Amino acid sequence: MKIKYNILYDFQKGPWGGGNQFLKALKEEFNKQYIYEEEIYKANVILVNSHHNLRYCFTIKKKYPNKIIIYRLDGPISFVRGQDKGIDKIIALFNNLVVDGIIFQSNWCKEQNKKYFGIFSIYEKIIYNAPDSEIFNEIGKKVFNPEEKNKLVATSWSSNWRKGFNVYKFLDENLDFSKYEMTFVGNSPIKFKNINWIKPVDSKKLAEILKQNDIYITASQKDPCSNSLIEALSCGLPVVVLNDGGHPELVQRGGELFRGKEDIIEKIDKVTEKYSYYQLKIPKFSMEKVARKYYEFAQKIYNNMQKGEYTPKHVNFLTKINFLKIEGIILKWKIRNKITSITQK
């Protein structure tokens, strides 16, 4: 039997975070491959993203105990945000209660979640993200001209300082702008003096901007599987990225890794000097292949269930008691955030 997915996520229109953009593209590809089902009761597999819609998922599991619940996990969330460890604890608890399999977005993500929060499953797989190839591709990419100013670009939906803004501030003040131009697209906590700043745009406009540049820069910290990085690579841009999180796994030989302010300009110069070499080494990302891997992962669990080799986790009295712990952590987290918000005002 061919299984079908339902993605339990509140999709947002327009420019939004990387997870939202990826899931929209994944859903579209699932539909192309006839493995998506809008009606939850008809789906065999429910894909849950991070900490979103956990209460609703718990309700579904109670009503449909044999549905397979698969987690799509990045994080750890507290590593990415520099706070909110409670969310990682919620994810760990929820995983133990009702999740049947985990798709980690990178090996780094898998290892950190397991080491620090004990998050693992008997069914788990690493599947990198991929972009919408109809938007993020090399069609129309500008040809690199070493006689002109090298055009650098960085992007971020989040304005969290951990997204690399200390490094972007350094570049704004120290980059040789007689040799380079640089553009930042997204939300920023700082105002740039020399870097061109473009506010958030939709995916099509973002792809157009990327293709008019030469090298992509990202200094985001503890980023498990950067969708922004994958989008830039898919548009044919060699990259210079912080040697942290899942970046090295994604870049492979399509760019250079830097440690911090002390060597980023050196790495930018290096990619500029050997631009053609790095561009030829850019890895390829395919949403079609990603969707197929998601399908094969869930199909394996379903087949084992049909053969009696695996029984999906069911909601019982003990599960309900433990879910109250999750509700308590969520309540404490909301109260703390409210107090912080009031204090800051």
- What is the residue-level pLDDT of the chain in tens, covering all 345 positions? 789 999 999 988 876 777 888 999 999 999 999 999 999 999 999 999 988 888 899 899 999 999 999 999 998 988 878 777 888 988 998 898 899 999 999 999 999 999 999 999 999 999 999 999 999 999 999 999 999 999 999 999 899 999 999 999 999 999 999 999 999 999 999 999 999 999 999 999 999 999 999 999 999 999 999 999 999 999 999 999 999 999 999 999 999 999 999 999 999 999 999 999 999 999 999 999 999 999 999 999 999 999 999 999 988 877 888 788 888 877 777 777 666 656 655
Q: Which residues of 30-54 are buried (b: 16+ CB within 10 A; e: fewer)?
A: beeeebbbeeeeebbbbbbbbbebb
User: Cα(139)–Cα(36) distance, rounded to whole angstroms?
Assistant: 29
Position 296, amino acid: E
Give the number of other Cβ atoms within 10 Å of residue 341's Cβ: 9
Return the structure tokens found at 244: 């942290």
Q: Which residues of 196-230 are buried (b: 16+ CB within 10 A; e: fewer)?
A: eeeeebebeebbeebbebbbbbbbbbbbbbbbbbb
Cβ proximity of 271 and 256 under 8 Å? yes
Q: Which CATH class is domain 5-130+287-344?
A: alpha beta
Distance CA 70, CA 301 (A): 10
Residue that is written with structure tokens 């599947």 in the block: 127
- Domain extents for the chain? 5-130+287-344, 150-280
Report pLDDT for 343: 65
Count Cβ atoms within 10 A of the Cβ of residue 88 and give its class: 0-12 exposed, 13-18 middle, 19 or more buried.
buried
5-130+287-344 and 150-280, same CATH topology: yes
**Gap between the Cα atoms of 47 and 268, Å rounded:** 39
Residues 6+ apart with CB under 8 A from 23: 7, 9, 11, 49, 72
The alpha helices in the chain, defined as continuous H runs, are 18-32, 54-63, 77-81, 85-98, 107-117, 165-174, 203-211, 227-234, 247-251, 264-273, 275-280, 287-306, 317-344
Whose CA is closest to 154, among 191, 185, 192, 194?
Answer: 185
Per the rule left: phi > 0, alpha: psi between -120 and 50, beta: everything else, 26 is: alpha
- For 145, residues 6+ apart whose C-beta sits below 8 A from its C-beta are none
* Structure confidence at residue 85 (pLDDT): 84
The pLDDT of residue 273 is 96
Tell me how far CA of residue 345 lies from CA of 101, 119, 246, 339, 340, in angstroms.
42, 36, 35, 10, 9
pLDDT of residue 212: 97
Q: What is the pLDDT of residue 180?
A: 97
Alpha-carbon span 339 to 345, nearest angstrom: 10
CATH 3.40.50.2000 fits 150-280, yes or no: yes
CB burial of residue 179 (10 Å; 0-12, 13-18, 19+) = exposed
Distance from C-alpha of 338 to C-alpha of 317, rounded to nearest angstrom:
32
Q: What is the pLDDT of residue 342?
A: 66
Note the pLDDT of residue 338. 67
Please state, in angstroms and rounded to a whole number, the distance separating the CA atoms of residues 8 and 70: 10
